[in-house]
Structure formats: structure tokens, C-alpha cells
Amino acid sequence: MHILHVVGARPNFMKAAPVLRALGKSPAVEQTLVHTGQHYDGNMSDVFFSQLEIPAPDVNLGVGSGSHARQTAEIMSRFEPIVLERRPDVVLVYGDVNSTVAAALVCAKLGVRVGHVEAGLRSFDWSMPEEINRVVTDRLADFLFTPSEDGDMNLEREGIPAKKIYRVGNVMIDSLVRLLPAATRYQKNGFPERYALVTLHRPSNVDDSQTLKGILESLLEINEKLDVVFPVHPRTRQRVSEFGLKVEKLHILEPLPYIEFLALQCRAVVVITDSGGIQEETTYLGVPCLTLRNNTERPVTVSLGTNIVVGNDGEHLSSELSRIVEGKAKKGTIPPLWDGHAGERIADVLQSLQS
């Protein structure tokens, strides 16, 4: 059986690594890895391949940045000949980035079966590009691998037949479990003892100058009481400089490699973020998380985990932060099947197709 994996952007890498590893154990499976090149900076891509021990891609489509239409179209036209040439039995796509939907669309038109890893998540916010990518990819996929029960429920509500849905757990947590010992050993010198770790890159938070200014003002205020450590995504860095905003008082860092970032998460007093994956990682780690969005496609991180969705309301952020600093953070539990073995469960499903 020939499985072709498509990755493109930073959050894909930690999701694909465990599936590649699990399928790699079977001599009957041939694997091809395609990198679209959506993310191309060394610290957004290469360093994840080395730390997660992902083999070098067999093909790099080198698409780079662009508008959504352009990036998606470029991936599609460069990916189609690869599928025609290599004729995989199943193509696996991951998460909700433009590379995911572009590859799924190519395969659906060519009649090649698609497996979507991290299916069924919904924010119900159609203004998010990722929500469009999720819904379209799930509609096109033949195998939908969900991380939690809410994913199955969303898919069934949308009329996806139950026989296509496989609840396998959270592949991102597989990578976390594997590299947590290395993160725990990692020492970073010259760092504050207690700090808030911040990440920010959603267009809804960073593309509007007034919204970004408001968030940065809240962070500067927090920084008076608790040091703010902020690895800055390239999109956010561009906007901060375009809008002429001041962030020098915060501990500004370049985007970090996986192990270093995990080490910072484990030891943080609180994580303040608009990322999807970080809401899940903090839930697993039991670290308080305040999410700077009005919704989340990962509701188990709120119902079971440590996550609180605070929107972009500075007062809500500050009151929740005070509770955490006073030691009154809400306690969470780890959702079912977030156990480090989701990749193996996906491999089992795919291998059972052969028999």
C-alpha cells in the first residue's frame, strides 16, 4: 500500500510525524512525503523536521507565501502532477491550513482517496480561513480521523456517514508525549523564573492596527507584574513593524523550535495565545491557557482542560490572569485518547484496508 502525506505549514509537522513513524513500522507500506513549501523559513519548517525526526520530504513544491487564492491554486497545480505520477492509494492531509484543503481538492477530482487527520473540528466562525478549510476538507475526505467526540458529532450533524469516521485521539499529543522528556531537560539561561508565554498570529488579531495595538497594550500592562515572553510569528512581526507599534519592553524572541517552545510551555505560569494547537498542548500539560479569540474549534480544552476563551476583551484577560497569578487557576483533565498512540491507531485503520 502506498500512502502519500502532504504537509506545508508549521502545525502540520507535529501531526504528521507520529503517523509517518507508525506506518514506517510496516514493510508492506510505501510512504511518500510532500512538503508544499507554504512555510519555508528554517525556524518555521526545517528545525521541526530535525527535532521530530521526520524524513526529508521526497518532493518540495516550493509554493511560498501569497494571497489565499494564489497560494491554494499554486499548491493545486504543482501537486496534481505528483499525484498522477506517483499514484498513491491514500493521501493523508493534516489539520486546517491552505495546504490541507488544496491537496484534498486535487485528490477528490482525481478519484484518489483522502484521509483527513484532525477531522471534525468546528469553530462555527466562517470568517476564519481555517474553518473554511476544515469544512471543505472533511466534505472531500474518505477517512475522517477525529481527535475527540465533538468532532464525530459535528461530522454526523453535517451528514457524513458514520462509517467514514474514526475517533483515534490527538496526534499532536503523540509528538508532545514523545518529546516531553527532552523539553523537561532543556535549560534556557537568562530567563525570568515566572512568566506568561504569549503567541499571536491570527489575522483577526494581528491584521487590524487597532486590535493589535489593544492586545499589545494589555500585554505591556501584564508585563508590569509578570514577565511576558513572546516568540513572534513572521506575520505578526510584519504587522508590528508596518503599524509602528512598540514591543521592546516584552521578551521578544524569534519563532522557536518545537522542544524549546514545549520547554517554555511546561514552565509557564500561564500561556496566552490565539493558536489552536497550543490550547491542546496546555490542556495536556495542565498549564493555564487564556485564548485570545471569541470561539474555539477545540471545545474539550474548555470543558475538560485548562483553557478559557477570553476574546479580545482586555478586562476579561486581566481578571482571569489575576486569578491564575493568585493560584486560583481552574484545574483540568486530559481528554480521552490523548495518550500518545493516535498515530498508531491511524496506521491500524489504514492497514486494515488492505485485508
- Alpha carbons 36 and 73: distance in angstroms, whole number: 12
- Alpha carbons 3 and 6: distance in angstroms, whole number: 10
- Alpha carbons 146 and 51: distance in angstroms, whole number: 25
| CB of 8 vs ligand UD1, minimal distance in Å | 7
Closest CA to 171 of 6, 336, 343, 8: 343
Question: Which strand (E) or helix (H) includes residue 309?
Answer: strand 307-309
Evaluate whether 102 touches 36 at the Cβ level (below 8 Å).
yes
Which residue, 118 or 130, has its beta carbon nearer to ligand UD1? 130
Please report, as a single letter, which amino acid is at residue 94: Y
| CB of 283 vs ligand UD1, minimal distance in Å | 17
- Alpha carbons 106 and 85: distance in angstroms, whole number: 13
Residue 117, strand partner residues = 94, 145
| CB of 44 vs ligand UD1, minimal distance in Å | 4
CA–centroid distance for 92 within its chain: 16
Alpha carbon distance, N-terminus to C-terminus of the chain: 11
Annotated catalytic residue, options 35, 39, 116, 201: 201
Sheet with 307-309, strands from edge to edge, namely 251-253, 227-231, 195-199, 270-273, 289-291, 307-309
Which residue, 260 or 344, has its beta carbon nearer to ligand UD1? 260
| CB of 179 vs ligand UD1, minimal distance in Å | 18
Closest CA to 86 of 31, 123, 136, 26: 31
| CB of 41 vs ligand UD1, minimal distance in Å | 4
Which residue, 233 or 251, has its beta carbon nearer to ligand UD1? 233
| CB of 285 vs ligand UD1, minimal distance in Å | 19
Which residues here bind ligand UD1, judged by CB under 6 A?
Answer: 9-11, 38-41, 44, 65, 96-98, 129-130, 201, 233-235
Q: 43, exposed or middle or buried, with CB in 10 Å at 0-12, 13-18, 19+? A: middle
Q: Is 68 a catalytic residue?
A: no
Provide the grid cell at 133. Answer: 478549510
Which residue, 14 or 347, has its beta carbon nearer to ligand UD1? 14
Residues belonging to the active site: 201
